[in-house]
């Protein structure tokens, strides 16, 4: 086995284990917190996390992607990038604290101010360890990095549950973010540094070559984050924070599932594509592998969430959240569409076309707000439907303008890769629903449905799927 292939496989295994572990921790955290916190608390934190997510992009400045995309980065440039990231993070934290009262006024929720200000240390805490993590990813050394992420996630979840039990309300979610960021950076500095420490001087000439790519990446990621967040931004303003909470918790469940599947291939795929970016055949092979894995693994998972949404809401979130089951069904369909488009970012950054990603995301920013505003007229379910339909339709131009020019992947084979698993998964879950419908106990019905659907999916797909991914 070639050394690069062996490294990629080891990295994929570690990322898979880490993603699965983090998702289990987060789902357990959500299951506990939905019984301790109100939808209004989740609505407040949904808005805060939009601000934190956008602020995190500015604090990074796209420099992490520039560091990852470059094959060789001298030590002096690496040191300057580290201090520049830290300075950006400090400035962003101060800016968010100053803007917090204004954001609270826009949403008519005074409680947002304190929660948002309390969240600002997360920028600096995250920046202090980020470059050590990126260096580990760049060399495909994911073992210790994954263990650090799991430790940070577990301690953060403990902080959230402890805070909720003490009556901290939305601040318990802030505690989770701060504890997780602090633990993650501290362990990254101690474990991932390999003895490296940044020098103290900061010279612009050392970082200037990285700023162009980093700036384009920042702009693209910023616009992309606005596209991802526009449903929560509009939902909080037009539906109210309580309705936003009922929408954001199912949304978080779907995204947690996506964070278990997609990073396994995208975190490994980015450095691999960057390594072979000048060989179109290798880029095509790498990207096909990413999309096929996402589709084959994701289709039955999202299908199961859609079919079992009532049982999931009742058992996982609690009886008072059953009203969100329809929203969860719709968002599961959106999750599958989103997971198929997500690897495009790794492709474009890997081949050095952050500028194309920026143009695409700007175009999306003209589409999503109007579509989602229209959906809010029918409440959380309308918002979810508009998000799903828009994402599904955009897969077609996304293939034509983002995938085909850099891989040559034909429309027929791309459609087969993403549609066949969905059709097989739908048939598998239809058979599971028919078999398990008479079972009255929710736990037994859910367990048997999963067993029947998985068996049917593997059985139906055994002779249908292109398991080798060669076409």
Q: What is the pLDDT of residues 277-323, one digit of tens each?
A: 888 898 998 898 889 888 998 999 999 999 999 999 999 888 888 88
pLDDT at 456 over 90: yes
- Span 41-94, pLDDT tens digits: 999 998 999 899 888 888 887 777 777 666 666 667 777 788 888 888 999 999
Task: Please give the share of the chain, as a percent, with pLDDT higher than 90.
Answer: 46
**Cα gap 297→284, rounded to integer Å:** 20
pLDDT at 468 over 70: no
The number of C-alpha atoms within 13 Å of 277 and in the hemisphere containing its C-beta is: 15
Question: What pLDDT is stored for residue 470 in this prediction?
Answer: 37
Question: What pLDDT is stored for residue 90 in this prediction?
Answer: 94
**Cα gap 302→287, rounded to integer Å:** 21
Angle of helix 354-375 relative to helix 379-398, nearest 10 degrees?
A: 150
Question: What pLDDT is stored for residue 206 in this prediction?
Answer: 61
Which pLDDT band holds residue 462 (cuts at 50, 70, 90)?
confident
Tell me what the pLDDT averaged over the chain comes to. Answer: 86
Question: Helix/strand/coil (H, E, C) string of 200-242?
Answer: CCCCHHHHHHHHHHHHHHHHHHHHHHHHHHHHHHHHHHHCCHH
**Cα gap 161→175, rounded to integer Å:** 9
Going from N- to C-terminal start, the domains of the chain cover 1-202, 240-471
What are the residues whose beta carbons fall under 8 Å from the beta carbon of 42, sequence distance 6 or more?
Answer: 34, 173, 244, 245, 248, 249
The gap between the terminal CA atoms of the chain, to the nearest Å, is 21
**Cα gap 387→421, rounded to integer Å:** 22
Burial class (CB in 10 A: 0-12, 13-18, 19+), 406: buried
pLDDT at 467 over 50: no
- Span 103-132, pLDDT tens digits: 999 888 899 999 999 999 999 999 998 888
Which pLDDT band holds residue 226 (cuts at 50, 70, 90)?
confident
């Amino acid at each position: 086995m070639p050394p690069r292939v062996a490294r990629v496989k080891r990295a994929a295994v570690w990322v898979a284990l880490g993603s699965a572990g983090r998702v289990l921790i987060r789902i357990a955290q959500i299951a506990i917190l939905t019984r301790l916190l109100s939808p209004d608390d989740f609505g407040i934190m949904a808005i805060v996390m939009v601000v934190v997510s956008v602020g995190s992009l500015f604090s990074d400045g796209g420099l992490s992607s520039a560091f990852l995309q470059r094959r060789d980065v001298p030590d002096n440039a690496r040191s300057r990038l580290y201090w520049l990231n830290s300075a950006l993070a400090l400035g962003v934290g101060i800016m968010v604290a100053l803007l917090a009262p204004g954001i609270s006024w826009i949403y008519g929720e005074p409680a947002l101010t304190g929660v948002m200000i309390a969240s600002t240390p997360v920028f600096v805490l995250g920046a202090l360890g980020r470059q050590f993590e990126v260096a580990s990813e760049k060399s495909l050394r994911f073992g210790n990095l994954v263990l650090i992420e799991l430790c940070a996630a577990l301690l953060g979840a403990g902080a959230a549950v402890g805070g909720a039990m003490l009556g901290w309300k939305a601040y318990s979610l802030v505690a989770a973010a701060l504890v997780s960021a602090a633990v993650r950076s501290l362990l990254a500095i101690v474990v991932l540094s390999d003895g490296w420490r940044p020098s103290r001087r900061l010279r612009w000439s050392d970082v200037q070559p990285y700023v162009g790519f980093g700036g384009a990446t920042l702009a693209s990621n910023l616009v992309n984050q606005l596209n991802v967040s526009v449903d929560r931004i509009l939902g909080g303003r037009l539906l109210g924070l309580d309705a936003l909470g009922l929408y954001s918790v199912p949304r978080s469940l779907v995204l947690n599932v996506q964070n278990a599947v997609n990073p396994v291939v995208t975190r490994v795929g980015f450095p691999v594509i960057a390594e072979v970016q000048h060989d179109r055949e290798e880029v095509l092979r790498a990207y096909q592998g990413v999309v096929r894995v996402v589709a084959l693994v994701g289709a039955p998972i999202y299908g199961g969430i859609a079919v079992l949404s009532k049982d999931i809401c009742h058992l996982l979130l609690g009886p008072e959240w059953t009203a969100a089951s329809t929203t969860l069904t719709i968002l599961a369909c959106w999750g599958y569409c989103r997971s198929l488009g997500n690897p495009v970012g790794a492709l474009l950054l890997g081949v050095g076309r952050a500028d194309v990603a920026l143009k695409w995301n700007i175009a999306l920013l003209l589409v999503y707000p109007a579509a989602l505003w229209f959906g809010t007229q029918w409440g959380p379910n309308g918002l979810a439907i508009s998000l799903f339909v828009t994402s599904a339709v955009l897969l077609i131009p996304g293939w034509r303008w983002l995938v085909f020019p850099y891989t040559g992947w034909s429309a027929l084979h791309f459609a087969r890769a993403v549609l066949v698993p969905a059709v097989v998964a739908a048939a598998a879950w239809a058979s599971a629903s028919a078999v398990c419908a008479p079972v009255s106990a929710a736990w037994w019905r859910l367990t048997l449905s999963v067993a029947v659907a998985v068996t049917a999916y593997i059985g139906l797909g055994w002779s249908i799927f292109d398991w080798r991914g060669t076409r």
